[in-house]
Structure 1
Amino acid sequence: MPCHCDPDCDPAPAPLSCSVTNGACEPPYEQVLLTMSSEFNAHAATDGSYSWKLCCTAGGNVLSVGSGADPGADVVQLSSTTNAHVSVDGTYSNHVKLGVDQGSVQCTTSFGSACDPVVEGDCVFSFSSQNNAHIGACSGTGSYNNYVCCKIVGGPA
């Protein structure tokens, strides 16, 4: 049942959506999660050194990107802040996190099959293996068959 005007209603959280672009993300709601050396078979960076950007948005929810002890869901770990391989198993210490102002982000990995939007959320990026990996866009020629999937849970009370 939709929420319309009921102040006690807890609406469904805005969907999380990420895409790779060779340009700028669109503020204020779209945020750069990390930059990539190309759309596919890419190295990643958190220092903005690449022109390809992994941009994420969550409808009207404000996203925050962090690292280390910052709040938010641990999306991926990088071997360095630039020219980095990625890990989804905790091998590397440069954590990339994603948070929201209403609710929280939950991320999982899907090996060998696409993200289930209902259970796991939307695809953030594809990756070649659990660690020492390259990343790519979620779909298209050159995407991998392993995915990081994230969704927003909870929301305004």
Structure 2
Amino acid sequence: MDNSPPCLPALSEALQAFLAEQGFPPAGVNAVAANDMTPLMRAAYQGPPALVAELLRAGARVDSCNGDGGQPLWLACVGDDPEIVAMIIAAGADLDHKNVNGSTALMYAASAGKAKALAKLLAAGADLDYELDGVGALDMAATLECLNLMREAKRRRAKS
């Protein structure tokens, strides 16, 4: 019986260069840097999508937490690239993970006006009813676009 780890794809030159530039070891797709940031967290924030896709194929974990309790999905919302947000959701990210303050990625996206990320979170079923100290994502909407996206999602869910 072979107990060796599964064979992962060889890392591209672009990914190897990214890891080196960010101070990660050459094959460290799950390595941690300052504030417990992982390569996937950095790539989720700054892209490009192809780099995120390669990290996911290479076994990067979507459930890693940085020092603030944020996961790659949160950092993808900061970057507001809908393709990256969708990839991380599809890879199994916890839509309703709470950081050390008790906030979710949906709350962040709403409060920061990250409408593209917010739309992906809502389409995937992120919890619109969760509240922290009596305040929910709807209350935190920074823009009319975000508020309208959440109101429409709430109406659709009420009809289901």
* TM tier relative to shorter chain: under 0.3
Higher-Rg member (1/2) = 2
Q: Would you tell me which structure has more helix in proportion to its own residues?
A: 2
Q: Would you tell me which structure has more strand in proportion to its own residues?
A: 1
- Length-normalised TM-score, structure 2: 0.26
- Length-normalised TM-score, structure 1: 0.26
Instruction: Select the structure with the greater relative contact order (CA < 8 A; seq sep ≥ 6).
Output: 1
